[in-house]
Amino acid sequence: MGVGIVAKGCRGGRATPLVAADLACYHPAYTKRREYRPLPDSALADTRVIDLSQGIAGPYCTRLLADLGAEVIKVEPPEGDYARRLGPFPNDVPHHDRGGLFLHLNANKKSVTLDLETTSGRVVLRKLLANADVLVESEPPGVMASRELGFEQLREEFPQLVYCSVTPFGQTGAYASFKGNSLAAMALSGLMYITGDPDEEPLCTGGE
């Protein structure tokens, strides 16, 4: 999986973010939400991250930053991160707030819902970026630029920002427009070639 870090810098002051709610770990035995507070001496305690990513790779990246003390603000579209629809779920009952994978990847983060297809949504995002150190996104190549949120468009406005794009095959190159999944990664990496037995049908990693 390709990760591109294309800018870097440091932030000065910061303002209070426009945050709707804190994400919290869920356990069926508890009903109260537990707010995360990083230790004051955490390695990234003075770092603010805006997380636009969905799925697994990007949210896992920002989860690690949150665990190191960064303030991570997850920005979801109105329909939510698609990982909310992935299990496992308590008692196998699907619920958009109780998916084990989603909660694991997004613990220790704050959350806000913004429609970046609208002007008003992009205005609010820019207010968040004005006081942020890092932006992580996982959109296909060209999508952020079409919203006037690409690296080239943001680096002049927010020179302090580290812009991290998490895509299957990068922003440029022969495979840039290809969609990515675990099967494609196994095939292109050569892992599929050494998995399974010569006289049997191909197997995914971990297959039987």
pLDDT in tens, 82-131: 999 988 889 888 888 888 999 999 999 999 999 999 999 999 999 999 99
Residue 3 has pLDDT above 90, yes or no: no
Cα–Cα distance measured from residue 97 to residue 106, given in angstroms and rounded to the nearest whole number: 11
Domain 2-177 has CATH 3.40.50.10540: yes
Where exactly are the structural domains of the chain? 2-177, 179-208
Query: Can you give the pLDDT at residue 193?
Result: 81
SS3 content of the chain, % helix, strand, coil (to 5): 25, 15, 60
Highest mean pLDDT among 26-30, 103-107, 167-171, 175-179: 103-107
Bridging pattern class, strands 162-167 and 134-137: parallel
Query: Can you give the pLDDT at residue 98?
Result: 86
pTM as predicted: 0.75
**Rounded mean pLDDT of 21-37?**
47
Given a contact cutoff of 8 angstroms between Cβ atoms, the answer to whether 68 and 92 are in contact is no
Lowest mean pLDDT, pick from 18-27, 55-64, 131-140, 187-196? 18-27
Which H or E run includes 76?
Answer: strand 71-76
Query: Can you give the pLDDT at residue 37?
Result: 62
Query: Can you give the pLDDT at residue 130?
Result: 96
3-state secondary structure of 137: strand
For residue range 69-79, what is the model confidence (pLDDT) as tens digits?
A: 999 999 999 99
Lowest mean pLDDT, pick from 52-61, 87-96, 196-205? 196-205
Residue 158 has pLDDT above 50, yes or no: yes
Task: Please give the structure tokens belonging to residue 180.
Answer: 């990515």
Cα–Cα distance measured from residue 60 to residue 57, given in angstroms and rounded to the nearest whole number: 5
Query: Can you give the pLDDT at residue 32?
Result: 52
Query: Can you give the pLDDT at residue 39?
Result: 59
Residue 9 has pLDDT above 60, yes or no: no
Task: Please give the structure tokens belonging to residue 193.
Answer: 């070639």
Residue 185 has pLDDT above 90, yes or no: no
Query: Can you give the pLDDT at residue 17?
Result: 36
